[in-house]
Amino acid sequence: MGGLIFQEIRELRALAYSARGVYYEGVRAGAPGVFLAYLATQGDKTDDALDVLIDMIKDLPERPARMGSLRASLLLTEGAARPGFRELQETVAGWRLLGFHGDPRRVLLPAYEGLEFGDLRRFHAAQIAGRPLTIMIVGDPRRFDVDALARFGPVERVASRDLFAP
């Protein structure tokens, strides 16, 4: 979905300098995962970029023509993902927490080869769409319309000193 977010928000609409989304598995087998999205945009484009992003999170855009490049990207990324010797123990322990008894690429790579857009749509419906959203905006509030952001939900202002370590 990260590629779709980048394409829709950055390339097609020029609403952000950067845009991405990533789904992270839960830390244990059966634990819920989390979808994180990120936008880097100008203050005056914040609410428009958020509109598009939230619409995409709620309703996956139909882009079946992109499946070939998505599949190739997944295969390339997973195929090259070999833990270094310093990370090997921690990586194997993580695989076990997720329920794997060996390298998960043995299961993932063949599954990615057969991945279709319908699979992506079902995953989106089960794991991303309809879930509660938390939106965090970091920036100078004089550069964007805080009142316009209220339509996404309650706005709570937090001082930067409360977010970042000194």
Which CATH number do you get for residue 82? 3.30.830
In the chain, the number of structural domains is 1
Along the 166 residues of the chain, how does pLDDT read in single tens digits?
677 888 889 888 899 999 999 999 888 888 889 999 999 999 899 999 999 999 999 998 888 888 888 888 888 888 888 888 999 999 999 999 999 999 999 998 999 999 999 998 999 999 999 999 999 988 888 888 888 889 988 989 898 888 888 7
The answer to whether the CB of 83 falls within 8 A of the CB of 91 is yes
Pair of tokens at residue 111: 């599954």
pTM for this one? Answer: 0.79
Task: Report the run of H or E that residue 39 belongs to, with start and end.
Answer: strand 34-40
Range of the domain at 129: 2-163
Q: What are phi and psi of 34, to 5 degrees?
A: -140, 140
